[in-house]
């Protein structure tokens, strides 16, 4: 835990405590030594003006002064990058919704977000328009379809729909037990138990048509089984990993790839010549190769041989379009 996180955690602990918090508990919560804790307490009290009261001796403890502690907030914007992203995403969602069923329900959230994104000391609203959230690759979605699908997921009801696969453009009719909705790269996917195929499947919600929620209860599949079948391989494509891909990136691209999250089980290492080698499990190679191709000549598929040959074919076909 870095100093920023320790100060924020210390403030939240003292703010929510009704009684003085013992020193050992603070050290345990902040994962720090006694000396570090005292330095953080001094910074919070002297630099940030927190109304900290302390009791010395063997049973040292800290708390905020009654009355003052309720009014005190950390000056400025004390949010982690993840918290800020979550707030901005919700704020954008409210902005997109416009007038409708949820407008009144979401209004208090918008007011709360604006409060959180303001300077608690002065009350000045921070210019959140200075921060952009850009959607990437978002596909058009029928909101009525989404409501029926989401309703079946939450109500745990079976679902019937017509599905047009994007790869083949072929229609099929499915009866499924919806398991969960997945938001991936700005698009929604429905993970299901397919009763006709008797297997787990994942469907793009934007390709679903004529959804009908049924009265039959949905069959529940354990989360671990869902993850093993639908989340253990690279990207959105389902299936247990059939192999590990070894990818090698130039010194130039390595500065980006080394800091990127490709998969929860990825393995990476720097090579002696400054290049970076990344390993990820995959089932379907399509999305993986698409992501490697965006690095152009700065990326190379090393193994397995079948994946390397598939990449060579893709590059030859692409080059053929320019001849």
Is-contact 222 177, C-beta < 8 A?
no
Confidence of residue 123 (pLDDT cuts 50, 70, 90): low
Return the residue matching tokens 């850009």: 134
What's this model's pTM, rounded to 2 decimal places? 0.63
- Residue 267, phi then psi, degrees to nearest 5: -130, 130
- Reading the block at residue 271, the tokens are 């090579």
Over pLDDT 90: what percentage of the chain? Answer: 47
The pairs formed by 70-78 with CB atoms below 8 angstroms and a separation of 24 or more are: 72/15, 73/120, 73/121, 74/7, 74/8, 74/11, 74/48, 74/120, 75/48, 75/49, 75/119, 75/120, 75/121, 76/119, 76/121, 77/117, 77/119, 77/126, 78/8, 78/11
Confidence of residue 138 (pLDDT cuts 50, 70, 90): confident
Higher-confidence residue of 176 and 76: namely 176
- Residue 147, phi then psi, degrees to nearest 5: -65, -40
- Report, as an integer, the average pLDDT of 295-311: 95
Q: Has residue 179 got a pLDDT over 90? A: yes
């Amino acid at each position: 835990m870095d100093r920023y996180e320790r100060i924020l955690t210390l403030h939240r602990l003292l703010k929510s405590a009704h009684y003085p918090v013992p020193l050992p508990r603070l050290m345990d919560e902040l994962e720090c030594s006694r000396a570090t804790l005292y330095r953080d307490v001094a910074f919070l009290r002297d630099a940030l003006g927190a109304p900290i009261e302390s009791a010395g001796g063997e049973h040292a403890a800290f708390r905020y002064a009654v009355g003052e502690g309720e009014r005190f907030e950390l000056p400025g914007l004390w949010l982690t990058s993840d918290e800020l992203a979550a707030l901005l995403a919700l704020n954008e969602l409210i902005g997109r919704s416009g007038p409708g069923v949820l407008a009144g329900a979401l209004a208090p959230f918008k007011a709360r977000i604006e409060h959180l994104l303001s300077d608690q000391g002065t009350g000045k609203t921070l210019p959140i328009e200075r921060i952009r959230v850009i959607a990437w690759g978002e596909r058009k979605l029928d909101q009525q379809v989404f409501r029926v699908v989401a309703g079946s997921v939450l109500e745990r009801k079976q679902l019937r729909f017509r599905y047009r696969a994007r790869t083949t453009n072929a229609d099929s009719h499915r009866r499924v037990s919806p398991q969960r909705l997945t938001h991936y790269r700005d698009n929604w996917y429905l993970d299901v138990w397919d009763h006709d195929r008797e297997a787990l499947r994942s469907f793009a919600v934007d390709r679903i048509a004529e959804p009908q929620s049924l009265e039959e209860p949905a069959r529940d599949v354990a989360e671990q089984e869902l993850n093993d079948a639908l989340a253990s391989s690279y990207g959105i494509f389902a299936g247990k990993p059939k192999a590990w891909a070894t990818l090698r990136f130039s010194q130039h691209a390595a500065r980006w790839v080394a800091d990127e999250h490709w998969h929860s089980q990825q393995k990476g290492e720097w090579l002696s010549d400054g290049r970076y080698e990344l390993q990820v499990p995959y089932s379907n190679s399509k999305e993986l190769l698409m992501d490697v191709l965006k690095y152009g000549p700065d990326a190379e598929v090393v193994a397995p041989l079948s994946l390397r040959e598939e990449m060579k074919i893709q590059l030859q076909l692409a080059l053929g379009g320019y001849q």
